[in-house]
Structure 1
Amino acid sequence: MRTIVHLSDLHFGRVDSAVIRPLIERINGIAPDLVAVSGDLTQRARSAQFRQAREFLDALPSPRIVVPGNHDVPLHNVLKRLLQPLQKYRHYITDDLEPFFVDDEIAVLGINTARSLTIKGGRISEAQLERARAQFSRLPAGATKIVVTHHPLDLPEGHSDRDLVGRARMAMETFADCAIDILLAGHLHVGQTGNTAARYEIVGHAALVIQAGTATSTRGRGEANSFNVIRINRPNIVVERWVWNPAATTFAATAPEHFRLVAGQWSAHGGGNDQ
């Protein structure tokens, strides 16, 4: 079994400082096999904000898969935005924009969807998809395959298609060919779990879509700060959402959601025999 902690939309520069220490303590107590951070580490891509994000990451367990978000690209410095959009991210966080983690049970690939020519949106390129195909094609059968992006490839109800990453359908066709199991994303500040079957009718494939809310930002959009814990015991997955309780000054788990892989499709089931 593998346990992954999934965080997103930290937005250092606009965080609730009260949640930082309890969040670090809770994640270290969970002792995950991997921490995945799906972008927007900063509010305005400033050096001080990246330094705060770096300090936070260093307090979390390793290994970690981290990808940038649109807020990690400078907004007001036009030259930096166009010519060196992720210079500070590379300096303070990581120079690896396509991080890859693999062991004998899981394979996790981060893909950068942040772009300098858009303010909010993101895209995936054909070259990125071909590199992803090459990475996943080398894996032995039986590994649970996971992709981490900032911008989502599928959406909760009530969200506009404008929030989808550019070339989402092309990406999903590639990921179906690669038998990707899980898509982790952020951007929306909404926690939600489902599968891709409704939006992408691909015979024999439905990936599990796990959206993370904002772990630390004051921009909750009606939701409390939260993060996800994903427990993988193939062919079963349990997703827990840990939500900030300000009265108790801690993060507490909501009721777990259970999913099972049947004929290439992840779908909800009643649980009971997952572990």
Structure 2
Amino acid sequence: MLKLFHVSDVHFGAEDPAAIAWFGQCVAAEKPDAVIMTGDLTMRATKREFERGGDWLRSLGVPVTLEVGNHDIPYYWDPFRRIFAPYQRYAAVEQMIERPLELPGVTIVPLKTTARAQWRWNWSKGRVGQGSLRRALALIADAPKGNLVFVAAHHPLIEGGTTGTAKTRYGDEALTALAEAGAHAVLSGHVHDPFDIPVDREGRTVRMIGAGTLSKRTRGTPPAFNEIQVDGGGFVTLSRTLSTDAKQPLR
């Protein structure tokens, strides 16, 4: 059996130290095949926060792929840096960002959903650009035949019934295109609550899977991450919470 840990929204700068330590202990004890981090590693995209987050991810000692969240680019009050140099502080984690992973029977494909600017007031919400979608579709096309394909994004492409929302522009169209291409699931964060929802598209079922948060900015659930168990061409998603360290199936 192959095991993946799906974690999101750690928010270094507003992290929960107990949750961070707990997750590290789980990785050390169980040795997952990879960690998928779906964004908001930092709170305010400072160099120090990226350094702390990078040190933490490297300390896990397993392959990691990292998506960029809306908190990982400079805020509106630093418009020059946000528009012209949004990635300047990523040096500590550069090798992990949008890193495709090939594991036995599983392909993990990155999909960028953040934007430096949008034609709406709330730039924290998601947006799927055509270039990002084309790259993801190309990676899916190159995946070994028979592999499960997991797409990693920060924002849910469509709403998952959580208190927090993503309102991802072009997310619905992207989900259809990814399903047609053969994606089995889209992993995301942003809303700070876990979910696993099957969505039917073009005669296929693609699962929308959201992870909780390891920060102090909890919403409906305590600090949590997802464990994805892959076995025999199928997979199950378990939500693991700090309060009990219980493993609860998400569907």
Q: Please say whether Structure 1 and Structure 2 have the same fold, judged by a TM-score greater than 0.5.
A: yes
Alignment partner, residue 168 of structure 2: 165
What SS class does the counterpart of residue 145 from structure 1 fall into? strand
The one-character-per-residue Cα deviations of 1:58-88 (angstroms, maximum 9, x if unpaired) are 1113211111100001113111011011221
CA distance in 2 between partners of 1:124 and 1:96 (Å): 20
CA distance in 1 between partners of 2:240 and 2:61 (Å): 17
The one-character-per-residue Cα deviations of 1:205-248 (angstroms, maximum 9, x if unpaired) are 11111100102x11102320000000011443121111012xxx
CA distance in 1 between partners of 2:71 and 2:236 (Å): 30
1:136-175 superposed matches below 5 A: 136-157=140-161, 163-175=166-178
CA distance in 2 between partners of 1:86 and 1:230 (Å): 30
Q: 1:114 Cα deviation (Å)?
A: 1.6
Alignment partner, residue 262 of structure 1: none
- 8 Å contact from structure 1 (residues 240, 253) kept in 2: no
- 8 Å contact from structure 2 (residues 65, 96) kept in 1: no
The one-character-per-residue Cα deviations of 1:157-205 (angstroms, maximum 9, x if unpaired) are 2558x623221122112202211001100000011111123xxxx2321
Larger of the two Rg values belongs to structure:
1
CA distance in 2 between partners of 1:79 and 1:189 (Å): 29
CA distance in 1 between partners of 2:130 and 2:96 (Å): 18
Alignment partner, residue 192 of structure 1: 195
- 8 Å contact from structure 2 (residues 39, 69) kept in 1: yes
CA distance in 1 between partners of 2:136 and 2:143 (Å): 12
What SS class does the counterpart of residue 176 from structure 1 fall into? helix
- 8 Å contact from structure 1 (residues 99, 111) kept in 2: no
Between stretches 26-35 and 131-140, larger displacement belongs to 131-140
TM-score (norm: length of structure 1): 0.84
- 8 Å contact from structure 1 (residues 32, 61) kept in 2: no
Q: 1:19 to 1:140 in 2, by over 3 A?
A: closer
1:110-125 superposed matches below 5 A: 110-118=110-118, 119-125=123-129
Alignment partner, residue 40 of structure 1: 40
Coordinate RMSD, CA, aligned: 1.8
TM-score (norm: length of structure 2): 0.91
Alignment partner, residue 207 of structure 1: 206
